Amino acid sequence: MFSKILIANRGEIAVRIIKTCRRMGIATVVVYSEADADSLAVSMADEAVFIGPSPANQSYLVADKIIAACHETGAQAVHPGFGFLSENAGFARRCAEAGVVFIGPNPDAIDAMGDKIQSKLFAARAGISIVPGHIGEIDDAAHAVRIAEEIGYPVMIKASAGGGGKGIRVAWARQDVEEGFPAVRAEAKGAFGDDRIFIEKFIVDPRHIEIQVLGDKHGHVIHLFERECSIQRRNQKVIEEAPSPLLDAETRAAMGAQAVALAKAVNYDSAGTVEFVAAQDKSFYFLEMNTRLQVEHPVTELITGVDLVEQMIRVAAGERLTFDQSDLAIDGWAIESRIYAEDPYRKFLPSIGRLSRYLTPAEGDRGGYRVRNDTGVREGDEISTFYDPMIAKLCAWAPDRPGAIAGMARALEDLHIEGPGHNTPFLAAVMDQPRYGSGQLSTNYIKDEFPDGFSGLPPQPWQSDVILASAVAMHRVLAARALGAGGDLSPKVKRNTWVVVAEGRRRDVEVTENGSVLAIALPTEGRILRLDEIDWRPGAPLFSGQLDGRDFTATVAPAAEGFTIRFHAVRQRVLVLTPMSADLHQRLPPKAPPDTSRLVVSPMPGLVVSMDVAEGEEVKEGQVICVIEAMKMQNIIRAERDGRIESLGAKAGDSVAADDVLARFA
C-alpha cells in the first residue's frame, strides 16, 4: 500500500480523497493554484505544492507540474479526482513513465471509453445497444446541419471529449444546429482542449441512468447497482439518487450485466461509470462511459457501504477486490443535491462571491435519516469564476425513498448560505413536488415543471403557518428587547394582538405564552398554532422550532416592520403590525417598479466573448445581442423586443457584473 498520495484536484473531491486517505493511514499532498492558496483542501492535506496561476490550463491541467510535484514530495501515486486530467490517457502514461502510479483505469481503457466517438464504435462492436446517430467527426456547421436532418430532429450536439454537462446542446430545428454547433465547439475547445463534435438522436422524455462498475487488475469486475441522474439543468446533473425508481430487478440486472460486459471488454481496472439513456418503458441505450470517479458517487456509497475512493486506491496498489457481485445488496435509498453558486430566480445563472455565511446541517444519524455533506469550502471562502460553481454535495439516506426525500428536505432547511446566489430554494421545491415524490422523472423535468423559470412556489398551508409563527415569535423577542432597553431586563410583552401581512394576505393573531410554548390563535380561521422548541436569537439567520409537533427550520432576515423569511421554496416579505398600522398600510398606494424595458443587462458576471450588434443597428426580437462566458459556459444573450440600438455598454473582451447594461434601445 502507498504511504503517500498526491491529489491532482481541488475543492470538495480533494477533501473527499483526503478523508479516505487519513482513515487508511496514507499521507496526502495537494497541488493548488493561486485561487486555491487558502482552500480547505490545502489546510487539510499533509503537504501542499503551488503549481501556478488560477486558470486551469496553467495549473491543474499541466501534467508536467503534477508529475514534478510527485517527485518533489515523494508521492508514489496520484489520484486525479474528476475533471481536469482524470480521463486523460496521455497523463496516465506520463505517470507510468515517471514511476508514479495513476489511481484510475489503465490508459488503454481510457482511450477506448474516454473518447465519446470511439466508445460508441467500441460498444457497437461489443453488441451493446447504442443511440442512433452519426459516429464520426463533423467538419463545420453546414456539415452538422446535413447530418442532423438525415438523423431527424431532435438531435443532441455533443463534444467528443465532453463531461460535466459542458459541450452539449439539444437542437430541435436547423437554426438550433447553426447556432449550437459553433457554441459547443467553442465550449469544448475551452474546457477540454478538444473541439471534435458528434451528433446523435435525442430520445424524447428520456431518463439518465448509470451503472457504477469496479474492476481490479486481476480480471475481476462487478457493478454496484445504478444511480438515476435525470434531474438536470442544461445537461448538468442537479439531483441524483440510488437506486432508480424506474428500474425493476430484471432491468437492473440486465443493465448491470451489460455494463460489466463492456468494462471487461476493455480490461477495466478501477471505478468507472457506464451511462445509459432509458425510455419510460425501461428500454435503454448506451450513452458513454466515464473512466473516472463520478461526482455523484456518494449515493452509491450510502446504499452499498463501499468506499469507492478506498477501492480505487487498493486496486491501483494491485490488491484484489475482496467481494463478489453476490456479496452486494441495495440497502435503503440515498439522494444527492448539488449545491451550486447560481441564482435560481435568474434562470440559474452562475453567481460568484465570498461565502459570508455558510452553515451546514449536522452530519450523521438524525433520527430516521442520515446526512452527509461533501464540501470543499468554509465560511469566508470565495467562489471564483475559474472553476465549477459547486459549493457542496448534500446527501440524505433513509430506509426508503419517501424517507430519503423527507430527510433531504429537512437537511436543505438546515443549510444556510449568504454571499453568492445559491440553488437551495429550487432543490427544496423539487423535494416538495408530488411528481418527484412519485418517481415520474425525466431529463425534461425542470423544463416541464418550471417552463417560465423558477420563481419559488406558492405556499402550502403548513408553510404559511411556519412563516407566520416564525415572524410572530421573532417579533416578540425583538419587542421584549426594545422594552428591556428602558431598564427592565426581563420585560413582558403586553400586547398579544397583531396583524401578520405576507404577500398581501392579512392574518389576525392573538398570542399567549405558557412557559416556552407560544399559542398563536387565528380567530378568523378558528385554529390555534402551538410553537415550541424555539431556537433563535436576534441576528441569527436560521429560526428553528416545532410547530404543532413538527420540526422545522426557516431562513430569516430582518426587514422594516418585519422580516424576510424563506421556508423550502417559499420566500416572503412578512410584516408584523399593530391593527392600526395594518389599516394604514392598506391605504398606501402600490410602488411602481422601475422601467427596464429599454435595457439589455448581463444576467450574470462573466466575460463578453462577442458583441454581435452595433450602435444604431435595427434588431429583431430573438436576435443575438452578445455572448457571455461564465463558469466555462457560453451564454447567448438575445433581444427581447424589436428596436434600434441606441448605445452599447460593453465590448468583446470586457468583464461584466450581473445587471451591468450591455445595450440600450432607443
- If pLDDT is split at 50, 70 and 90, which confidence band does 54 have? very high
The answer as to whether 147 is a domain residue is yes
Is the pLDDT at 492 greater than 60? The verdict is no
Q: Which residues contact 585 (CB under 8 A, 6 or more apart)?
A: 501, 575, 577
- Report the pLDDT averaged over residues 35-64: 96
CATH number, domain at 479? 3.30.700.30
Q: What is the pLDDT of residue 260?
A: 95
The answer as to whether 41 is a domain residue is yes
- Report the pLDDT averaged over residues 268-277: 96
What is the number of domains present in the chain? 6
Is the pLDDT at 115 greater than 80? The verdict is no
Is the pLDDT at 21 greater than 90? The verdict is yes
The domain in which residue 472 lies consists of 461-587
The answer as to whether 213 is a domain residue is yes
- If pLDDT is split at 50, 70 and 90, which confidence band does 181 have? very high
The answer as to whether 492 is a domain residue is yes
Is the pLDDT at 488 greater than 50? The verdict is no
Q: Which residues contact 60 (CB under 8 A, 6 or more apart)?
A: 8, 9, 10, 31, 33, 51, 66, 84, 85
Angle CA 397–398–403, to nearest 5:
120
Q: Is residue 66 within 8 Å of 6, Cβ to Cβ?
A: yes
CATH number, domain at 346? 3.30.470.20
Q: What is the DSSP string of 31-69?
A: EEEGGGTT-HHHHHSSEEEEEE-SSGGGTTT-HHHHHHH
Query: Which domain-ending residue is among 201, 221, 248?
Result: 201
Q: Report helix angle 89-97 to 107-114, nearest 10.
A: 170
The answer as to whether 624 is a domain residue is yes
Residues 489 and 574 in one domain: yes
- If pLDDT is split at 50, 70 and 90, which confidence band does 327 have? very high
HSE-CB for 77 with a 13 A CA cutoff: 23
Query: Which domain-ending residue is among 587, 614, 645?
Result: 587
DSSP 3-state assignment of 352?
Answer: coil
- If pLDDT is split at 50, 70 and 90, which confidence band does 190 have? confident
Q: Tell me which residue has cell 423544463.
A: 447
Q: Which residues contact 63 (CB under 8 A, 6 or more apart)?
A: 85, 88, 90, 91, 94
Strand order in the sheet with 618-619: 599-601, 661-665, 643-648, 618-619
Looking at 288, 296, 413, 629, which residue is catalytic?
288
Instruction: Report the range out of 1-10, 151-160, 226-235, 490-499 with the highest average pLDDT.
Output: 1-10
Is the pLDDT at 204 greater than 60? The verdict is yes
Q: Is residue 275 within 8 Å of 471, Cβ to Cβ?
A: no
Residues 122 and 239 in one domain: yes
Residues 482 and 582 in one domain: yes
Residues 48 and 89 in one domain: yes
Is the pLDDT at 87 greater than 70? The verdict is yes
Residues 155 and 266 in one domain: no
Per-residue cell: 266:
476493455
Percent of the chain whose pLDDT exceeds 90: 73
State how beta strands 77-79 and 4-7 pair: parallel
The answer as to whether 594 is a domain residue is no
Is the pLDDT at 405 greater than 60? The verdict is yes
Q: How far apart are CA 4 and CA 155, in angstroms?
A: 46
Q: Is residue 204 within 8 Å of 154, Cβ to Cβ?
A: yes
CATH number, domain at 644? 2.40.50.100
Measured over the CA atoms of residue 25, residue 26, residue 27 and residue 31, the dihedral's sign is negative
Annotation marks residue 34 as catalytic:
no
Residues 351 and 212 in one domain: no
Q: What is the pLDDT of residue 494?
A: 57
Q: What is the pLDDT of residue 136?
A: 74
Residues 563 and 609 in one domain: no
Name the residue among 83, 3, 14 with its Cα closest to residue 42.
14
What is the chain's Cα-based Rg?
27
The answer as to whether 174 is a domain residue is yes
- Report the pLDDT averaged over residues 80-98: 96
Torsion of the alpha carbons at 370, 376, 382 and 383, rounded to the nearest 10: -80
Q: Is residue 52 within 8 Å of 59, Cβ to Cβ?
A: yes
Q: What is the pLDDT of residue 117?
A: 76
Q: What is the pLDDT of residue 211?
A: 98
- Report the pLDDT averaged over residues 527-534: 96
Q: What is the pLDDT of residue 251?
A: 96
CATH number, domain at 59? 3.40.50.20
State how beta strands 197-201 and 236-242 pair: unpaired
Residues 619 and 632 in one domain: yes
Is the pLDDT at 630 greater than 80? The verdict is no
- Report the pLDDT averaged over residues 104-127: 87
Residues 147 and 281 in one domain: no
The answer as to whether 592 is a domain residue is no
Is the pLDDT at 14 greater than 50? The verdict is yes
Residues 99 and 144 in one domain: no
Residues 372 and 440 in one domain: yes
Cα 412 to chain centroid, rounded: 13
Q: What is the pLDDT of residue 624?
A: 93
Residues 580 and 604 in one domain: no
Query: Which domain-ending residue is among 562, 587, 612?
Result: 587
